[in-house]
């Protein structure tokens, strides 16, 4: 078996640990051992085929983006327009380009949270077949929504218990790794603000998914939807914004927080997605000012400020968190997604050490791949980043990724 070693100045393991002057021992695509400077003589027992020297650099696990949309280009094109104006082939090419961009920018695993035409399955299967060295991908296929709900254009509409059960069974047969359910409104065209399903419908969906041994993640953009998701028994909450459906009032709920912490119900806040559209509006205002654009900017800015306020509260009380960007949606490009998510967390007061865990070990747990990804320890896949500076000391490190390793192979 081919044994390679990688030397570095420091290593963050993704679980809260740090090692000075580490050596990673890699056998094929798996970490065989991580050795610190006190036990360098241990490498003498290996027949080493290659030694890679990053002794002035820092290592950390590859980033994991828990909330993306591979079929969307992140250039402002809506889901509805992609579905009605592009062929499946064109959409698949967009998804492939997004996957490649994510990997080049340090994302070694991602979770697709809504895709039409089975494109996410195709990309995942293409990577898993070994044709290309892409990120690990976890997919839900079409999100489950109601006939008048957010993302119904993707084809996953279901009304009433019978339709809900049938759709979940079809998704399982198609190859979905988890079930994503839309519990509240979003930014789809024509969708009115409000709750998507009744509590009984949500309960039915979660019960059937669990019966089929599938995890459930629920899109919840209001505290009412968050509480409904938790009552139904969902393990994961997408967005998880603790405010009213209009985005005008933020709620602080200690009992809800305690329950989520005690039951390890995690949330993925997708911080940068609205900011990306705000940047787009700002460019328009700078070049072609209009009262209509200014009004749209002010409305979205107010909503985004409330969303950031809910995130700060959730972090302050210890809600289990994982990283996600909503890459692909509106103006959120895959090349910027995780970098912007990290910058936003830092601006919200998240400790740099916590950011590393949220983007690696926590994120791997969130998407159900903690047994193989998310940490640099023996037995895990050799997915890691080489950083010019220390990510535990400066957030700017994420702008200076000098190499990405996926399954033990250099990407850049």
> Residues 214, 172: contact at Cβ < 8 Å?
yes
Nearby residues of 25 by Cβ (< 8 Å), 6 or more positions away: 3, 4, 5, 31, 32, 33, 34, 35, 43, 46
Q: What is the DSSP-derived secondary structure letter of residue 397?
A: G
Is residue 142 domain-shared with residue 214, that is, in the same domain? yes
pTM of the full structure: 0.97
The percentage of the chain sitting over the pLDDT mark of 90, rounded to a whole number, equals: 93
Do 325 and 388 belong to one domain?
no
Q: Residues 273, 274, 275, 280: is their CA dihedral positive or negative?
A: positive
pLDDT tens for each residue of 265-293: 999 999 999 999 999 999 999 998 999 99
pLDDT at 39: 75
CATH of the domain at 85: 3.20.20.140
Mean pLDDT score, 177-203: 94
Q: Is 143 found in the same domain as 35?
A: no
Expressed as residue numbers, the domain containing 402 is 3-61+374-410
CA distance 354 to 333: 24
Please tell me whether residues 384 and 268 are part of one structural domain.
no
User: Looking at the predicted structure, is the pLDDT value of residue 42 above 80?
Assistant: no
Return d(Cα 229, Cα 222) in angstroms, integer: 11
For the record, the structure tokens of 111 come out as 């979770």
Paired strand residues for 327: 68
Do residue 393 and residue 347 come from a single domain? no
Residue 338 burial (CB count, 10 A): 27
Rounded Cα gap, residues 240 and 265, in angstroms = 11
Decide if pLDDT at 73 tops 90: yes
Average pLDDT over residues 240-262: 96
Question: Are 81 and 15 members of one domain?
Answer: no
Cα(100)–Cα(133) distance, integer angstroms:
9
How far apart CA 37 and CA 26 sit, in angstroms, is 17
| DSSP E strand boundaries for 72-135 | 107-112
Same domain (yes/no): 22, 127? no
Q: In the predicted model, is pLDDT for residue 1 greater than 70?
A: no
pLDDT of residue 47: 84
Same domain for 404 and 318, yes or no, is no
Structure confidence at residue 43 as a pLDDT band (50, 70, 90): confident
For residues 89 and 107, give the distance between their C-alpha atoms in angstroms, rounded to a whole number: 24
Tell me the mean pLDDT in the region 30-54.
87
Q: Are residues 351 and 404 in the same domain?
A: no
pLDDT of residue 125: 95
Quote the CA–CA distance of 367 and 111 in Å, as a whole number.
7
The stretch 192-213 carries a mean pLDDT of 97
Number of domains in the chain: 2
Task: Judge if 379 and 360 occupy the same domain.
Answer: no
Whether residue 392 is predicted with pLDDT greater than 70 in this model: the reply is: yes
42 and 141 belong to one structural domain: no
pLDDT at 187: 84
- Mean pLDDT in the chain? 95
pLDDT band of 37, cuts 50, 70, 90: confident
Q: What is the pLDDT of residues 327-366, one digit of tens each?
A: 999 999 999 999 999 999 999 999 999 999 999 999 999 9
Same domain, 190 and 74: yes
Looking at residue 334, its pLDDT comes to 98
Looking up residue 393, the CATH number of its domain turns out to be 2.30.40.10
- Confidence at 160, pLDDT banded by 50, 70, 90: very high
């Amino acid at each position: 078996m081919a044994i390679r070693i990688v030397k570095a100045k420091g290593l963050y393991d993704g679980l809260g640990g740090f090692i000075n002057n580490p050596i990673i021992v890699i056998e094929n695509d798996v970490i065989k051992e991580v050795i610190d400077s006190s036990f360098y003589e241990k490498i003498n027992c290996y027949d080493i085929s290659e030694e890679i020297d990053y002794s002035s650099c820092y290592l950390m696990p590859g980033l994991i983006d828990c909330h993306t949309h591979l079929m969307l280009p992140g250039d402002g094109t809506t889901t509805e327009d992609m579905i009605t104006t592009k062929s499946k082939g064109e959409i698949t090419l967009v998804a492939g380009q997004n996957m490649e961009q994510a990997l080049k920018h340090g994302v070694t695993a991602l979770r697709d949270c809504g895709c039409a035409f089975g494109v996410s399955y195709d990309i995942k299967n293409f990577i898993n077949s070994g044709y290309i060295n892409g990120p690990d991908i976890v997919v839900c296929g079409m999100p489950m929504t109601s006939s008048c709900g957010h993302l119904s254009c993707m084809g996953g509409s279901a009304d009433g218990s019978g339709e809900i059960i049938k759709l979940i069974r079809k998704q399982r047969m198609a190859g979905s790794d988890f079930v994503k359910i839309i519990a509240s409104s979003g930014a789809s065209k024509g969708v009115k603000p409000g709750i998507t399903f009744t509590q009984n419908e949500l309960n039915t969906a979660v019960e059937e998914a669990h019966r089929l041994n599938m995890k459930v993640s629920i899109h919840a953009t209001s505290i009412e939807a968050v509480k409904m998701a938790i009552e139904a028994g969902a393990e994961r909450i997408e967005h998880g914004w603790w405010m009213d459906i209009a985005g005008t009032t933020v709620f602080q709920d200690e009992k809800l927080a305690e329950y989520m912490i005690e039951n390890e119900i995690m949330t993925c806040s997708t911080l940068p997605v609205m900011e990306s559209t705000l940047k787009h509006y700002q460019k328009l205002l700078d070049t072609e000012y209009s009262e209509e654009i200014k009004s749209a900017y002010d409305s979205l800015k107010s909503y985004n400020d409330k969303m950031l306020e809910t995130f700060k509260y959730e972090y302050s009380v210890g809600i289990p968190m994982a990283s996600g960007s909503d890459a692909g949606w509106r103006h959120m490009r895959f090349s910027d997604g995780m970098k912007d998510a990290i910058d936003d967390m830092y601006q919200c007061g998240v400790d740099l050490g916590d950011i590393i865990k949220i983007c690696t070990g926590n994120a791997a747990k969130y998407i159900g791949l903690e047994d193989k990804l998310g940490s640099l320890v023996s037995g895990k896949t050799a997915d890691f980043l080489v950083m010019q500076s220390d990510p535990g000391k400066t957030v700017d490190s994420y702008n200076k990724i000098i190499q990405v390793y996926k399954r033990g192979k250099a990407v850049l």
